[in-house]
């Protein structure tokens, strides 16, 4: 049997280089080629593995055939010796590519080995470190008895789990006091986000007695109709944040359109080119910079009636014309006495000639914190010179409202100088901006004595605040969100955030300065105490009403399910009795009596359900026919709440 030529050349002795020719080993490339050929001839070498195919993850290419066919199982060493030199038959470029692939494959395997060994060494060292720590901590316990390897692994796992839990806890709750660790969170299955806010107790002792109409705030706000929300923005009360929530954070059929780089947003009604919100971020300062109650109640109806699109800001002269006309109408009307601020006159003020309903809202803040925040804002150069302070159709004169500084602004003023100015509008600002200034002669202090003036202003501010559609407190952000959603039936997208660190909180004052600030703002202190009491009572009343409605719904669902279950059960028994009536009567007289009894109970239950549903329909019809408030069944929750208030007192 004749051998192939390649096999014959494989068994021949190596040829000697000709005389005068350079040796093969002098050329690095030829020398590496010879070594590659020799390595390929050895069984089990890397070259042999390369000969069987490319490394894992390397393809032959789309239009190229495999470099070499897969080697068949050799029956003898002769076949391996015959196929070994086939690697040398490849072209030089093909062999070069094979060498590059082999180097890459070797480098990848080397990296994998190094990574595996490095991780193993790291785990081993970590195990020793944790073992040393564990031995230091639990050394006395380990000295009691020799622990086997399984117990050591279990304890190591527990220690690792404890460390991981500590890290997660520090990430979730970085503060020193975490609400997740309080006992209230463990007592209730679902934590209440409104239960404790700013370390305030969930229940408080009320100081004022309010009626059901004062506590229940439910506005049937028709965004597609003629209703309008008017936001009275008092300086440094968090009104900017709340105003942004109104235009950016409410779930609406047609959300407000806010463009980048513009402060104002377009808040149109669905299908109309009219705004439903009168605020800084929707219509701008259409009635002047930080307009108060006196300016808004005179300006807003005229602006809305005069311009169907309230987005266009009227000129300064136009604002004076509007307020002058409103003041003339007011002087010509019979409601010019001190009783013009009654709830009946407030309702007439909240409507315009075109039939629009105005719902006024505002935000209040602790007087001391608000005063310090305004002082820091004035230090940075704020003046609010653009405020009109229009009252009774005209702005105040320089004698009625002197300035506290002589230059362009009051930047850099110390706190003592800020408190020493008797004409500073920061003093009792919240009472002044919420009261009807026409009742005391506007800014003319000579109309009535100071004591009487302060009393009239405080009572006017309390009355206006109580009859507003909604007001919130800066110190209770989540409760403010809850009451707004329940009042207007409008939900926010994301919850409000309570910021406990502000510029005012960074100011360190002693007890003497704090008492002086409280004395300068004694009207605001009284108003804030009244507002906080009313706010928290409204919140508790709404929460109690919500719980009662949820309990009533659960009871109705249980009754309905019981009735359905009994009805299906007796229907199935009735079908069985209709099939074998004689047999059942003769064999089971006691079971028949029990079935009759259960049928009677079922009929009584169904009658009770029908009666309750009919009573519910009658109550709904009475509500629709009569315009009175709920007196009979719905007043139970109110009586319970008022009774609980009397107990707390």
Q: Which two tokens stand for residue 369?
A: 């914190």
Residue 290 falls in the annotated catalytic set = yes
**Number of other residues whose CB lies within 10 A of the CB of residue 102:** 17
CB atoms within 10 A of CB 371: 25
Residue 228 contacts residue 278 (beta carbons within 8 Å): yes
CA 476, CA 472: separation in Å to the nearest integer? Answer: 8
Task: Give the rounded distance of the alpha carbon of 335 from its chain centre.
Answer: 45
Closest alpha carbon to 465 in 368, 362, 359: 362
Whether the CB-CB separation of 560 and 609 falls below 8 Å is answered with yes
From the candidates 290, 359, 389, 467, give the one annotated as an active-site residue: 290
**Residue 425, number of CB atoms within 10 A of its CB:** 17
Burial class (CB in 10 A: 0-12, 13-18, 19+), 61: exposed
Q: How many CA atoms lie within 13 A of 596 on its CB side?
A: 7
CB atoms within 10 A of CB 640: 13
Asked if 231 and 361 touch (Cβ cutoff 8 Å), the reply is yes
Q: Please enumerate in sequence order all residues whose Cβ is within 8 A of that of 558, keeping only pairs 6 or more positions apart, or say none.
A: none
Q: Are 512 and 452 in contact (CB under 8 A)?
A: no
Q: How far is CA 424 from CA 331, 350, 402, 420, in A?
A: 29, 31, 9, 8
Q: What is the distance between the alpha carbons of residues 538 and 214, in angstroms, rounded to a whole number?
A: 8
The three-point CA angle 331-425-373 to 5° equals 135
Active site residues: 290
């Amino acid at each position: 049997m004749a051998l192939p030529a390649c096999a014959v050349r494989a068994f021949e002795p190596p040829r000697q280089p000709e005389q005068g020719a350079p040796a093969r080993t002098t050329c690095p490339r030829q020398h590496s080629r010879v070594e590659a050929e020799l390595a390929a001839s050895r069984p089990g070498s890397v070259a042999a593995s390369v000969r069987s195919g490319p490394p894992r993850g390397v393809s032959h290419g789309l239009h190229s055939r495999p470099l070499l066919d897969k080697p068949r199982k050799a029956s003898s060493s002769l076949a391996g010796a015959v196929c070994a030199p086939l690697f040398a038959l490849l072209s030089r470029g093909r062999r070069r590519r094979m060498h590059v692939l082999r180097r890459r494959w070797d480098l990848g395997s080397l990296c994998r080995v190094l990574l595996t060994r490095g991780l193993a060494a790291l785990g081993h060292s970590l195990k020793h470190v944790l073992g040393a720590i564990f031995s230091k901590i639990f050394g006395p316990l380990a000295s009691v008895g020799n622990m086997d390897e399984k117990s050591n692994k279990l304890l190591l796992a527990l220690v690792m789990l404890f460390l991981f839990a500590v890290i997660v806890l520090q990430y979730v709750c970085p503060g020193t006091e975490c609400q997740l660790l309080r006992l209230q969170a463990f007592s209730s299955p679902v934590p209440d986000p409104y239960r404790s806010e700013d370390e305030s107790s969930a229940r408080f002792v009320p100081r004022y007695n309010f009626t059901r109409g004062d506590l229940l705030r439910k506005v049937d706000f028709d965004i597609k109709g003629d209703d309008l929300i008017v936001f009275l923005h008092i300086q440094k009360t968090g009104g900017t944040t709340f105003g942004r929530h109104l235009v950016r954070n409410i779930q609406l059929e047609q959300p407000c359109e806010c463009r980048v780089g513009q402060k104002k947003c377009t808040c149109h009604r669905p299908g109309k080119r009219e705004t439903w919100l009168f605020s800084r971020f929707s219509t701008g300062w259409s009635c002047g910079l930080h307009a108060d109650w006196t300016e808004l109640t005179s300006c807003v109806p005229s602006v809305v009636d005069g311009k169907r699109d309230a987005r266009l800001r009227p000129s300064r002269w136009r604002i004076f014309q509007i307020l002058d006309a409103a003041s003339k109408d007011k002087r010509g009307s019979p409601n010019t006495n001190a009783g013009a601020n009654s709830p009946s006159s407030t309702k007439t003020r909240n409507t315009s000639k075109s039939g629009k309903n105005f719902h006024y809202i505002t935000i209040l803040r602790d007087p001391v914190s608000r005063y310090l925040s305004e002082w820091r804002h004035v230090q940075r150069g704020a003046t609010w010179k653009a405020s009109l302070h229009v009252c009774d159709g005209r702005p105040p004169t320089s004698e009625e409202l002197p300035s506290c500084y002589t230059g362009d602004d009051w930047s850099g003023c110390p706190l003592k100088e800020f408190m020493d100015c008797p004409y500073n509008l920061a003093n009792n600002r919240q009472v002044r901006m919420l009261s009807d200034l026409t009742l005391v002669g506007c800014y003319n202090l000579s109309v009535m004595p100071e004591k009487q003036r302060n009393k009239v202003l405080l009572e006017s501010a309390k009355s206006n605040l109580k009859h507003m559609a909604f007001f919130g407190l800066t110190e209770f952000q989540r409760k403010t969100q809850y009451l707004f959603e329940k009042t207007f039936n409008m939900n926010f997208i994301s919850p409000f955030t309570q910021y406990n660190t502000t510029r005012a909180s960074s100011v360190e004052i002693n007890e003497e300065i704090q008492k002086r600030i409280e004395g300068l703002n004694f009207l605001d202190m009284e108003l804030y105490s009244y507002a906080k009491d009313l706010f928290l009572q409204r919140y508790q009343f709404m929460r109690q009403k919500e719980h009662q409605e949820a309990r009533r719904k659960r009871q109705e669902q249980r009754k309905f399910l019981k009735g359905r279950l009994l009805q299906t059960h007796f229907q199935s028994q009735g079908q069985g009795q209709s099939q074998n009536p004689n047999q059942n009567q003769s064999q089971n007289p006691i079971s028949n009596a029990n079935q009759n009894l259960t049928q009677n109970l079922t009929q009584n239950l169904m009658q009770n359900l029908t009666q309750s549903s009919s009573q519910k329909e009658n109550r709904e019809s009475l509500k629709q026919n009569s315009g009175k408030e709920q007196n009979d069944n719905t007043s139970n929750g109110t009586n319970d709440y008022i009774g609980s208030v009397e107990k707390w007192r």
